[in-house]
């Protein structure tokens, strides 16, 4: 039986949200570092890495909907979706480490290992994240509470992004140091990911223990996977959200991967060093100063930089500063959504994000300040949109129940998790193919053509895919007024069925 109250305590909101912190340890590494890891650390070509990221999506197209169907038909004393978070926690961490471990194999052996480890990671990601995402749709039907949960969830997610994007490379340097003072990148990556993986287990257990399922399907509803597919095909808001999710995550993976190479090869290292010095982050001798020193020193990380390792510190600072601004945007998301409606806030925020992303094409190699400034503006515009995606998906699940008198929350969210993973795969693949087409080869000084490919993958191409997401939003039919009407009708319907 469902509780009369759809209010959710702050403790439950935070506990549930920590589960997304765990997922973001994988997610952020894939957005920013996956392609660079495969080409520059693991040792396969950009084209091969891009193809690998794409091929995995064919398996996802089959497995993700199946996972949604399985989750919807799971019945335990803990609910339908919660137990999967617990059951998958340890395998999630194990396959996470496996995917970022570099074996001492031949080139073909490495390629096979990369495919197997990547497929295993993406499979366990679905086993965990499809039920986790669906759980968001059944914790409460209260519109304000749902948006509040999304906001807190993505503050936690952005906190994980802050750690991953800012501390991964310093951690790799710390763990990869040998007795001769050299850095073993392969060892450093495996151990750095191991730290994130262990934290993820703890957070998943907390998410499992903290959350509750309050919305139940109609007790008279019959299990029918074929009908689930038919209902989904007629759900126009779901189709809009699928396209939106697909192209947002294509963009995030494309831009994140592109920026790794943008900092590695395009931005002038002397200008980057000077920029960090102008902010008081380093002094003239390369010693790290101020708050930045305190953060890195607390982890026992890099104490001194020069032109040879300025990429690690500069790229980390770029990512961390962007994540701080993103979190500010996330905090304001609930207020803006309640005032103007989720759809309107999403359209404006994503449109501005598209503009600021496109402007990266005009950044000269020596104008590091402009790159940081555009990143701040881009992050501020994008931040408020982040919680809205999953809050709107909860509304889509309600819309399906309202229209068909059937609820298949896990199946509906499974399609969006597939879109998310497909976006990551396509985005990484597109970036790899762009770099390969423009002639990128590891350890070869890039010429003008290669640099053009890097700049395009960091600006105009991701701006175009963001724009497709904006267009998809205009087709999303659940307005603020309609949503309020729909929720009122669903509440009365559930009461009449004895579900409240």
> Is residue 210 assigned to a domain?
yes
> Is residue 358 assigned to a domain?
yes
> Is residue 79 assigned to a domain?
yes
According to DSSP, the residues that pair with 379 across neighbouring strands are: none
136-156 burial: b if 16+ Cβ within 10 Å, else e? bbbbbbbbebbbbbbbbbbbb
What pTM did the predictor assign?
0.75
The whole-number pLDDT of residue 154 equals: 80
Give the residue among 482, 499, 500 at the shortest CA–CA distance from 395: 482
CATH code of the domain covering residue 143: 1.20.1250.20
> Is residue 32 assigned to a domain?
yes
* Phi–psi pair at 36, nearest 5 degrees: -65, -40
The whole-number pLDDT of residue 93 equals: 96
> Is residue 413 assigned to a domain?
yes
**At 475, is the pLDDT very low, low, confident or very high (cuts 50, 70, 90)?**
very high
Report yes or no: 500 and 494 within 8 Å, Cβ to Cβ: yes
Query: What gap in Å lies between CA 335 and CA 291, rounded to an integer?
Result: 31
* Phi–psi pair at 287, nearest 5 degrees: -70, 135
**At 3, is the pLDDT very low, low, confident or very high (cuts 50, 70, 90)?**
very low
- Residues 163-188 have pLDDT tens digits of 888 888 888 888 887 666 677 889 99
Average pLDDT of every residue of the chain: 85
Pick 421 or 475 by higher pLDDT.
Answer: 475
Report yes or no: 53 and 425 within 8 Å, Cβ to Cβ: yes
**Number of neighbouring beta carbons within 10 Å of residue 19:** 30
> Is residue 169 assigned to a domain?
yes
Token code pair at residue 351: 């449109």
**At 208, is the pLDDT very low, low, confident or very high (cuts 50, 70, 90)?**
very high
Report yes or no: 434 and 460 within 8 Å, Cβ to Cβ: no
According to DSSP, the residues that pair with 288 across neighbouring strands are: 282
- Residues 373-402 have pLDDT tens digits of 999 999 999 999 988 887 788 788 888 888
The whole-number pLDDT of residue 231 equals: 79
> Is residue 8 assigned to a domain?
no
Query: What gap in Å lies between CA 444 and CA 287, rounded to an integer?
Result: 30
Q: Where are the alpha helices (DSSP H) in 33-45?
A: 34-36
Residue 477's SS3 state is coil
- Residues 85-114 have pLDDT tens digits of 999 999 999 999 999 999 999 989 999 999
The whole-number pLDDT of residue 280 equals: 65
Q: Number of helices and strands (H, E) in the chain?
A: 21, 0
Indicate if the pLDDT at residue 286 is higher than 70: no
Number of domains in the chain: 1
Report yes or no: 171 and 195 within 8 Å, Cβ to Cβ: yes
> Is residue 114 assigned to a domain?
yes
* Domain carrying residue 438: 14-215+223-486
Residues 6 or more apart from 340 whose CB is under 8 A from it?
Answer: none
């Amino acid at each position: 039986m469902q509780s009369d109250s759809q209010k959710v305590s702050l403790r439950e909101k935070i506990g549930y949200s920590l589960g997304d912190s765990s997922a973001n340890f994988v997610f952020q590494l894939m957005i920013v570092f996956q392609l660079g890891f495969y080409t520059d650390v693991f040792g396969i070509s950009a084209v091969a890495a891009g193809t690998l990221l794409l091929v995995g999506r064919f398996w996802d197209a089959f497995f993700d909907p199946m996972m949604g169907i399985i989750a919807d038909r799971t019945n335990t004393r803990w609910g339908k979706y919660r137990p999967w978070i617990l059951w998958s926690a340890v395998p999630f961490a194990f396959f996470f480490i496996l995917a970022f471990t570099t074996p001492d194999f031949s080139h073909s052996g490495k390629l096979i290992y990369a495919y197997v480890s990547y497929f295993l990671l993406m499979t366990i990601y679905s086993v965990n994240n499809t039920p986790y995402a669906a759980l968001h749709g059944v914790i409460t039907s209260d519109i304000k509470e749902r948006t509040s949960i999304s906001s807190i969830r993505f503050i936690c997610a952005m906190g994980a992004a802050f750690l991953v994007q800012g501390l991964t490379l310093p951690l790799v340097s710390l763990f990869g140091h040998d007795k001769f003072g050299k850095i073993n990148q392969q060892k450093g990556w495996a151990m750095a990911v191991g730290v994130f993986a262990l934290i993820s287990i703890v957070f998943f257990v907390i998410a499992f223990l903290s959350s509750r399922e309050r919305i139940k399907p109609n007790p008279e509803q019959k299990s029918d996977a074929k009908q689930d597919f038919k209902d989904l095909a007629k759900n126009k808001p779901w189709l809009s959200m699928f396209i939106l999710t697909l192209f947002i995550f294509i963009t995030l993976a494309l831009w994140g991967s592109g920026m790794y190479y943008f900092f590695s090869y395009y931005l002038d290292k002397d200008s980057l060093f000077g920029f960090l010095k102008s902010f008081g982050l380093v002094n003239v001798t390369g010693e790290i100063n101020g708050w930045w020193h305190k953060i890195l020193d607390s982890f026992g990380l890099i104490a001194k930089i020069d032109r040879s390792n300025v990429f690690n510190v500069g790229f980390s600072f770029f990512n961390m500063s962007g994540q701080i601004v993103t979190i500010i945007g996330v905090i304001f998301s609930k207020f803006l959504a309640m005032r103007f409606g989720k759809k309107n806030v999403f359209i404006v925020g994503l449109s501005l994000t598209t503009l600021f992303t496109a402007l990266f094409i005009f950044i000269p190699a020596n104008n590091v300040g402009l790159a940081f400034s555009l990143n701040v503006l881009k992050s501020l515009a994008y931040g408020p949109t982040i919680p809205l995606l999953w809050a709107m998906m909860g509304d889509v699940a309600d819309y399906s129940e309202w229209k068909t008198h059937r609820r298949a929350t896990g199946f509906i969210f499974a399609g969006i998790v597939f879109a998310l993973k497909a976006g990551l795969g396509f985005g990484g693949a597109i970036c790899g193919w762009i770099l390969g087409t423009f002639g990128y080869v590891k350890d070869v000084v890039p010429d003008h053509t290669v640099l053009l490919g890097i700049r395009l993958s960091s600006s105009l191409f991701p701006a175009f895919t963001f724009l497709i997401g904006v267009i998809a939003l205009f087709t999303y039919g659940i307005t603020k007024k309609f949503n309020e009407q729909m929720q009122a009708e669903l509440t009365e319907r559930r009461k009449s069925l004895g579900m409240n």
